[in-house]
Amino acid sequence: MESHDENQYLQLIHKILQMGNKETGRNGNTISYFGTTMRFSLQNGTLPLLTTKKLAYKTCLKELLWFLRGSTSNTELKKENVHIWDANATREFLDSRNLTHLEEDDLGPVYGHQWRHFNATYTNSKQDYTNKGIDQINYIIRHLKDPELRSSRRLIMSAWNPCQLDEMALPPCHVLCQFHVTDGNKLSCALYQRSGDVGLGVPFNIASYSYLTHLIAHHCNMIAHEFVHFIGNAHIYEDHIDALKEQCTRKPFSFPTLAINDKYENINDYTWKDFQINDYTCHPSIRMQMKA
């Protein structure tokens, strides 16, 4: 294949279909491959939104900003016409997780809670958790803004909290990321993802953590450099196979670029309207059913 970062994703599909193992999991039959890596350049404002199918990039961005606010309420997402958590927020699904004490659309201490209030005692999504738990995002920002501290090898954020896994509607799939600075001001991010739905989830994860790296670089007066993506169990659902084979016949276009038009003192103040996506050219959408 020609040199284009998106070809790594298409090659991953081929690898799973050719070398993967058939598995029956919690929510369906898959073909799975364990242990894979992709690297995406973020230089010159590059934003790796997949182009071999249309990606709902605004939905992805709104979810990321929801994480950053520390929110765990699906009601907030639905108000912004984001419905990717709906199936995990129903009364039936929460009850299946023994979360009968949570109201419908309360997802428990998922990503946002761990990013901003790690291990703070969780009551419900309406509670104010200010100054409770560990604010991992502020820890990273504080270090990156200090030239003496930004070279630390401890710029790590974890969503995986064994103490609270059973309180979450869904244990985190993208579990740990690490930020790294080269040449004094070039910011990279590496993500370890324990479980990756290659058809639907992984394209979102690539976009989300690339957005995050660009945003934190912008916020800390740095330059976004690279996103490195490690996946443990990379899997394709049985009923996604034909759709992904079709996607693999398509030739990638050039990735779009990202500009963030404003800068705020508080990372919580950014909205999706501050992000300008330029020159996103893509092939048509490919329909795949999301698995709760």
Residues with catalytic annotation?
Answer: 173
Spatial distance between the Cα atoms of 228 and 209, rounded to a whole number of angstroms: 9
Cα 89 to Cα 66, 134, 252, distances in angstroms: 15, 25, 35
Spatial distance between the Cα atoms of 204 and 56, rounded to a whole number of angstroms: 8
Nearest residue to 47 via CA among 191, 218, 219, 224 = 224
Nearest residue to 176 via CA among 248, 217, 129, 229 = 229
Indicate if the alpha-carbon torsion angle 96, 102, 106, 109 is positive or negative. negative
Spatial distance between the Cα atoms of 107 and 149, rounded to a whole number of angstroms: 35
Tokens 């630390």: give the residue. 152
